[in-house]
Amino acid sequence: MFQGLIDHWVPTREPISAFWRTDLDPCCALLDGLAEEVAYNNFTFYTKWYTNGVRSSLPYLRNHPAASNTFTDNEWGRGLIAHLHGRGVTVGAMLQCYTFETAPWGDAPRLGEWAADMPEIAETEGPIALADFTTDLYQTRLAEMLREQLTLFPDFDYFFLEFEGVMPEMAECAYRAFCAEVGEAPVADPRFSEETTRWCDRLGLERDYRFSEQALEMYRHYLARNLRTAQAVLDERGYGGTPGVVYHPIYWEKFVAPEALPHQGWWLLPWSYFGWVQEEDQRARMEAMLEHMREQIGMERHVLYLGDATIAPYSLTPLEMTMDFCEESGAEGYLGMGNPTYPTGLHWRGVTAEMVQTSREFFRRRWPR
């Protein structure tokens, strides 16, 4: 079974994670100390999020001056990979592929700014641009970014791509561009299928434009194109590891991601951090998540659940329930967002030192040495 945890290479505010700006030897010592207690067999790093976590030669990715990869010319990241491989631990990269810091993105097409609470959690310069993924330029830049990652770090065992952050008004803009591309007149009023209507009603979700038939058709088109672009880069580089796509099936991505895969070798990484969900909604959404994963496993797709580690103030019930499912259902395993090595490791706002220790004890019990 895949037993993994995650930390950031990308610049994030303290105390969310200081891992990205910590020297190699202390990082290795943290991971070694964790490995003495928890039998994790994978460690995955966010190498591109709202911020860029590698030293890049691409003009639209900012090299943060305090990032360990920046001032070591990526020797820090390569050292971590080599160290973990030396312990028999596989290593993954996770990339958020739609959002970019606005200034280096320049005057390239964008669907809007994605600011939200980014200044509080990510060390960005200014707001975040959401790239216009309907353009040919975006496909060029996506390929360049993936190619650079695989060139700088050819030893990644897993390569997970995330295409999130599209707000309703951005989806409407993308839909109009999609209609122009395929030569169809835009449909003015959103149409909703019975399936998506039942899903929203069941889970108490707002049925916004992103659930409409128009938006879902548009999403399927562009996500499939994104993944074909990624597959072409993987083939070009002779990549022998495992690719996957990260998506949030509680929302509209449930109706898009599984059908967009280039082939069955791609893994699905459905995610939800149930500690962020109100208690009265939590169980219904957990059951819906497990139902979705069971369906995908039944279709012989590879499913790796991306769930809590230290990312949410939580009770242990969601962790127990989702991990039990992963162990019993034929899923590939469990990848926990977070690194229980307080205070350096990845944890979120509202997650205390005591919560991190509780998480560490939970994983020590579930994945004993």
Domains identified in the chain, total number: 1
Provide the domain limits for residue 99.
2-366
What pLDDT is stored for residue 313 in this prediction? 77
Q: What is the pTM for the complete model shown?
A: 0.96
Indicate the helix (H) or strand (E) that contains 182. helix 168-182
In this structure, the chain runs to a length of 369
| CATH number of the domain encompassing residue 362 | 3.20.20.80
Work out the pLDDT band at 120, boundaries 50, 70, 90.
confident
- 333 sits in the region (left: phi over 0; alpha: psi -120 to 50; else beta) called left
Residue 206 is predicted with a pLDDT of 93
Which of 157-166, 282-291, 313-322 bottoms out in mean pLDDT, i.e. has the lowest? Answer: 313-322
21-26: average pLDDT: 98
**Alpha-carbon dihedral of residues 284, 286, 292, 297, nearest 10 degrees?**
-150
Distance CA 55, CA 181 (A): 35
User: How many alpha carbons lie under 13 Å from residue 256 in its C-beta half-sphere?
Assistant: 30
pLDDT value at residue 115: 65
Q: How many helices (H) and strands (E) does the chain have?
A: 13, 11
| pLDDT band with cut points at 50, 70 and 90 for residue 116 | low
The answer, yes or no, to whether residue 155 has pLDDT greater than 60, is: yes
* Residue given tokens 């103030």 in the structure block: 313
Rg of the chain (C-alpha set): 20
Nearest to 74 by CA among 44, 60, 59, 54: 54
Question: Which residues share a beta bridge with 161?
Answer: 95, 245
Share of the chain above pLDDT 70, in %: 98
Q: Phi/psi at 250 (nearest 5 deg)?
A: -65, -30
- Report the mean per-residue pLDDT for the chain: 94
pLDDT for 135:
97
Question: What is the mean pLDDT of the segment spanning 259-280?
Answer: 88
The pair of three-digit structure tokens given for residue 286, joined into one six-digit string: 């957990």
Q: Is 204 exposed, middle or buried (0-12, 13-18, 19+ CB in 10 A)?
A: exposed
Contacts of 132 (CB under 8 A, 6+ apart): 108, 109, 110, 111, 138, 173, 174, 177
Distance, CA of 216 to CA of 39 (rounded, Å)? 40
Provide the 8-state DSSP code for 128: E
Whether pLDDT at 47 is above 70: yes
The DSSP element (H or E) to which 49 belongs, if any, is none
